[in-house]
Amino acid sequence: GKGIAVFTSGGDSQGMNAAVRAVVRMGIYLGCKVYFIREGYQGMVDGGEYIIEANWSSVSSIIHKGGTIIGSARCKDFREREGRKKAAYNLVERGITNLVVIGGDGSLTGADLFKQEWADLLDELLKDGKITPEQRKKYNHLFIAGLVGSIDNDFCGTDMTIGTDSALHRIIEATDAIVSTAYSHQRTFIMEVMGRHCGYLALVAALTSEADYVFIPEDPAAIDWPDKLCKKLMQERNVGQRLNIIIVAEGAIDRNGHPIMAEDIKKVVVDNLHQDTRITVLGHVQRGGNPSAFDRVLGSRMGAEAVMALMEADENTEPCVISLDGNQAVRLPLMECVKQTKAVAQAMADKEWEKAVQLRGKS
Ligand code: F6P
């Protein structure tokens, strides 16, 4: 059978374990040898005990666990060609020419580069006498399927990334809890949520928790946001509301592109309205805890589809990313999705926010 390796890379997210489990079981079911690569690309570079064969029971009782049981890392060595050469050797030695990479856009870009260099890396390994001519010939092609694991929902091409739904559950549980104490004390709370340069978590959290105000990167606040904010908060208090909730994405900015921090908002509220105001930074709580049913299903479907894609690939098949499109698992060209995701980041950096939102599409 074919050799498949699965690894998780970059920031963890809930549902990654469901994906790992599906890859292992679908792979074994189809007669493949399936390997874990522990600690992301670092494990691929280091080899040895970091690349181990998985069996049916090595993925038992993990679907409900948050994080990733095989570890994840942001790896410097793999960014160097020398690191990628070591990684190629470690894979060839074990007969692995199929990779399922679970991570964000950085991790998926790395995989694509690896694919492009693969034949050259093998030529060098042959020249160095590290691999045999038979190995060189047999393992000529590297096949890659990517799955997007991230709480941020910031990847183009997929409706939802693995982990976003669970992170939202975490956020709204926390917001609901804050609302009750805010009510008792007639307080205003500013909740900072994650998402890097993407406002998806903040926006959906605001909608689903009846927040009074939200700051997101894609719709930068007008320069007179303090006036607008105060007016809105007062309006709510004047009709009898005992509390206010403001959600701020960690990447929130104003029209000049300057960050808007929770502390800035607090100062505005306290100085102008003299409201008893507190800040809650949810932080990594959002990324932890058990995955929701949605993320377990999403990870499972995406993992199984990734193995199917690898099984059907031939030497002309480009790396793909498994995406959710209208509740269907689809295969999209990995590089196009990465390119589009980078174009969004560029548009944001150029302060072309409408363009960024359009480019991002459905996600
Ligand atoms: O990409 C996921 C994410 O949690 C972002 O929302 C956040 O900005 C970042 O990772 C935090 O990174 P780290 O876990 O390295 O502090």
The catalytically annotated residue of 12, 152, 264, 295 is: 152
If you average pLDDT over residues 134-146, what whole number do you get?
97
Does 274 score more than 60 pLDDT? Answer: yes
If you average pLDDT over residues 246-251, what whole number do you get?
98
Ligand 1 centroid distance, CA of 151 (Å): 9
Helix (H, G, I), strand (E, B) or coil at 360: helix
Ligand 1 centroid distance, CA of 11 (Å): 6
pLDDT of residue 219: 96
Calculate the average pLDDT of the chain: 96
Rg (the chain; Cα; Å) = 23
Beta strand ranges found along 207-335 (DSSP E): 213-215, 244-249, 277-281, 320-325, 328-333
Q: Is 129 annotated as a binding residue?
A: no
pLDDT of residue 362: 52
- Which of 16, 170, 196 gets mutated to test ligand 1 (max ligand atoms within 8 A of its CB)? 196
Q: How does residue 361 score in pLDDT terms, banded at 50, 70 and 90?
A: confident
Ligand 1 centroid distance, CA of 336 (Å): 24
pLDDT of residue 315: 92
pLDDT tens-digit readout, 175-188 = 999 999 999 999 99
Residue 219 appears among annotated catalytic residues? no
pLDDT tens-digit readout, 275-334 = 999 999 999 999 999 999 999 999 999 999 999 999 999 999 999 999 999 999 999 999
Beta strand ranges found along the chain (DSSP E): 3-8, 33-37, 51-53, 96-103, 143-150, 162-163, 188-193, 213-215, 244-249, 277-281, 320-325, 328-333
The CB of 151 under 6 Å from ligand 1? The reply is yes
Beta strand ranges found along 123-217 (DSSP E): 143-150, 162-163, 188-193, 213-215
Does 363 score more than 80 pLDDT? Answer: no
In angstroms, rounded to a whole number, what is the distance separating the alpha carbons of residues 66 and 187?
33
pLDDT tens-digit readout, 46-79 = 999 999 999 999 999 999 999 999 999 989 999 9
The CB of 192 under 6 Å from ligand 1? The reply is no
If you average pLDDT over residues 199-215, what whole number do you get?
98
- Report the percentage of the chain scoring pLDDT > 90: 97
Three-class DSSP labels, 61-82: CCCCCCCCCCCCCCCCHHHCHH
Tokens 């009782």 sit on residue: 61
ipTM tops 0.90: yes
Q: Is 196 annotated as a binding residue?
A: yes
Q: How does residue 242 score in pLDDT terms, banded at 50, 70 and 90?
A: very high
- Which of 168, 287, 363 gets mutated to test ligand 1 (max ligand atoms within 8 A of its CB)? 287
CB burial readout 282-302, b (16+ within 10 A) else e: beeebbbbbbbebbbebbbbb
